[in-house]
Amino acid sequence: MSLILYRNNSQPITLPNLRSGIDGSVKSDAVVTATLFEADGITVADPAIDGLVLSPVAGTPGLYRGRVDQSFDAPVGSYLLAITAVENGDEYYKLYRVRVKDNTGS
């Protein structure tokens, strides 16, 4: 799965159906964060997305959502978005390919 993020634009990041890798149970009380990385593994130093917290969505077990602030200003290019979730010692990691574009569609 890949995502497109637009510079200088407020936008949601959603993690659906978070489940334990051990027993498959839905995780609805995890601490979930997202961080954008360059291809060489260096964290993108943009406070709008570095360590972004995704909160559980009420009434939808396993669904988490965060919002990238309008100040997001990473350079146009390709990145990896790392999602980390921890609940009761159970850890979940997910990587997404991300393409950052200008609002003009570049």
What pLDDT is recorded for position 89?
82
Tally of helices (H runs) and strands (E runs) in the chain? 0, 7
User: Is the CB of residue 92 less than 8 Å from the CB of residue 18?
Assistant: yes
What pLDDT is recorded for position 106?
47
- Token pair 């997305």 in the structure block, residue: 49
Q: Averaged over 41-59, what is the pLDDT?
A: 93
DSSP code of residue 13: E
Q: Closest by alpha carbon to 87, among 56, 49, 60?
A: 56
The number of residues in the chain equals 106
How is residue 30 written in tokens? 């995890």
Q: Averaged over 16-34, what is the pLDDT?
A: 90
* Interval 54-102: pLDDT, tens: 999 999 999 999 999 999 999 999 999 999 999 988 889 999 999 999 9
Q: Which domains does the chain have, with CATH numbers?
A: 2-101 (2.60.40.10)
